[in-house]
Amino acid sequence: MNKEKLLEVEKLNIKFLTSIGDVNVSENINFHLKRGEIFCIVGESGCGKSVVALSLTRLLPENAMINGSIKFEGVDIANLEDKEFAKIRGRKIATIFEQPMSCINPVMRIGNQIAETYRANFKCSKKEAKEQALKKLKEVKLPINRYNSYPHELSGGMQQRVMIAIALACNPQLLIADEPTTSLDVTVQYQILELLQEIKEKYNMAILMITHDMAVVHDMADTIGVMYAGNMMEIAARDAFFQQPLHPYAQELLNVVKDPCNYTIPGTVPNLMESFLGCPFEPRCNKSTEICKTKKPEDIVMGKRIVRCLNVVPN
Amino acid sequence: MSCLIEAVNLTKVFKDKHFSVFNKKEITAVDNVSLTVNSSESVGIVGESGCGKSMLGKMLVGLTLPTKGSVCYNGREISKLTFNEMKKLRPRLQPIFQDADSTLNPKFTVKKLLEEPFVINKIPKDEANQRIDELLNYVNLGKEFYNRYPHEISGGQRQRLGLARALSLKPDFIVADEPAASLDSSVQAQILQLLNQMKSNNGLGLVYVSHNLRIVSMMTQRVNVMYLGSFVETGDTKDVFENPIHPYTKMLIGSVLTIDGEKRKLGTKKVFGEPPDPKNRATGCAFHPRCDQCTQICKEERPELKKVGEKNRFVACHNI
């Protein structure tokens, strides 16, 4: 299996300029993805995980200021012309979202929507595009006779499959999945996650998955990134992470998920409008020291792990 | 333990307006369901979306009247009460919804929202104020929240406010309909712990409606698994989760993702099909199109709940 780095994000800073002040949603984020790898970003709502994912395909609103380098297949795509970038978006990097109905055209037959995506990116005849669409329908395990159905005739799980089929239409190398199963039933979620893994195996694709559900992470991830208030607090391989997370926030988060009836993280998620002098997690952290209040933590690399905490001693 | 709520043969039928006068079609949302809840007990109802679990919850607190069957609160049938009698009873039965936002008037401040139940039930102001202070303390909201509007507080805080409102008149029975589904895991934990506290401190009966099986397994003593309007398996939570009998329960529990243990291998567990459409209910056992143990009788005859083993365990399946 080809294990070269497919995506490299370095020093990514994202800021929203609003009329009432700047909002820092991403501070110095570094991570990379290899082919065939599933990278899960996990965090609470408002921590900036979706913004990071959207920034990769330039889907952010105009008031977003993006700084840093995003290398895809060795090319810095952060500074590409829009016209050049359009050749990558959809064709090489595809995205699926939580709500399928917000992405699918409600008045267009689903088969045509898959074919349309293919035709928009590759010049081909309608017949060829239809063949490709049928192939994709089969791949996401939808019956072929659904080609002429409208989205409202399908259940939520099937709509999700249609969206995956549209994303896969051009055989992308990187699939960004933003909370793909949050609104689904457990039984359907199970099937969709299985489908994503099968597709990944088949095409040796990389998947960047955004979720707030630790159980989904446990099920899917090869590598995990824990985000909190715009900071990537810890990046670790799945097994190592679930054995012993190193960052205090990751530890607390895991404890809460394991035993929600007896464990809480005190306090609430900080407001990103305020700028932090020290570590953003400091007010809620049970291991905080004096230095945490005044000094911003930096990434500490420990083998394959990266931890952003002042109290972690590199070994 | 006394029996707080007793529901017998509850059925709720909706008429589908899309069909013409000559082709009337009915949808049975809840089909012949019986349930009892004791005080200081929590009972879970689990199932996929559209199985009727929320509708059952609404009938239990009297928000919707059943088409057939009865709900008794301490021996009084609530569907037969007059409007005024029901008004007196309402404070005893309270619902908590998934989306607290939809229950909070956006033009009211937090203080006014909390006062509302007391004003409606004509409770003197000083008593009400004292109770409000208690409540805010209980759900961990400070006095600085008094003058804020619902949109000025976070989702978790809104949910806690909803909880405080439900608790304000000291109910005996609460139906919590996915109270923590839309929240982050750390906030979710706060809500669950509050509910647990309430149950043990105030001795109230709790019905926990959810599709999150992990939380139901932690929160409840008894659990009812619902499929397309009727219970397919009921029993003590521990037994049901450790040893599921009905094929649907097995599938449902099999599809729950855990956070310990090994990574699952592809295709090891069998989960198939989509949640069913109540408009086209399958004949016989409603689950048979998705069941891998389906036989001829499953397609023809509807299974009844049968007692299995010695404990309070009931399963509706032909093949056991």
> Would you say the C-alpha torsion A179, A181, A186, A192 has a positive or negative sign?
negative
Q: What is the per-residue pLDDT across B304-313, written as a single tens digit (0 to 9) for each?
A: 999 988 788 9
> Which residue from B minimizes the CA distance to A155?
B274
**Residue A204 in this model has a pLDDT that exceeds 50:** yes
pLDDT digits (tens, 9 = 90+) for B183-237: 788 888 888 888 888 888 888 899 999 988 888 999 999 999 999 999 999 999 9
Mean pLDDT of A3-25: 89
pLDDT of residue B3: 83
Q: What is the mean pLDDT of chain B?
A: 88
Output A2 or A48, whichever has higher pLDDT.
A48
DSSP A78: G
Mutate to test the interface with B, among A44, A186, A193 (most CBs of B within 10 A): A186
Burial of B211 (0-12, 13-18, 19+ CB in 10 A): buried
What is the residue extent of each domain of chain B? Answer: 3-220, 232-320
CA distance B185 to chain A (A): 6
**Portion of chain B with pLDDT greater than 70, in percent:** 94
- Mean pLDDT value of segment B7-32: 81
Number of A to B CB contacts under 8 A, please give it.
112
Q: Which amino acid is at B120?
A: I
Contact state of A268 with B259 under an 8 Å Cβ cutoff: no
The answer to which of A3-7, A97-101, A157-161, B124-128 has the lowest mean pLDDT is: A3-7
pLDDT band for position B271 (cuts 50, 70, 90): confident
- Nearest residue, CB atoms, A194 vs list B254, B256, B266: B266
pLDDT one-digit tens code per residue, A235-251: 999 999 999 999 999 99
Q: Do B211 and A185 touch (CB under 8 A)?
A: yes
Cα dihedral B2, B7, B8, B11 in deg (nearest 10): 180
Q: Burial level of B128, CB count in 10 A (0-12/13-18/19+)?
A: middle
Mutate to test the interface with A, among B145, B184, B218 (most CBs of A within 10 A): B184
> Does A153 lie at the interface with B, CB-CB under 8 angstroms?
no
Q: What is the 3-state secondary structure (H, E, C) of B88-154?
A: HHHHHEEEECCCHHHHCCCCCCHHHHHHHHHHHCCCCHHHHHHHHHHHHHHCCCCHHHCCCCHHHCC
For the purposes of burial, counting CB atoms within 10 Å of the CB of B207, is it exposed (0-12), middle (13-18) or buried (19 or more)? buried
Cβ separation A264–B189 shorter than 8 A: yes
Residues B264, A188: C-beta atoms closer than 8 Å = no
Higher pLDDT: A151 or B279? It is A151
Q: Which of B157, B212, B219 sits opposite A261 (nearest CB)?
A: B219
Check: complex ipTM more than 0.90: no
Please, what is the end-to-end C-alpha distance for chain A in angstroms?
Answer: 31
Sequence-ordered strand ranges (E) for B141-282? 173-177, 205-210, 222-227, 230-236
CB contact under 8 A, A261 and B264: no
Class at the top of the CATH hierarchy for domain B3-220: alpha beta
Provide, as residue numbers in chain B, all residues whose Cβ is less than 8 Å from the Cβ of A219.
257, 263-264
CB A225 within 8 A of CB A39: yes
Residue B54 buriedness (CB in 10 A; 0-12 / 13-18 / 19+): buried
- pLDDT (tens digit per residue) in B32-68: 999 999 988 999 999 988 889 999 999 999 999 999 9
**Percent of chain B at pLDDT exceeding 90:** 48
Least confident of A273-282, B10-19, B127-136: B10-19
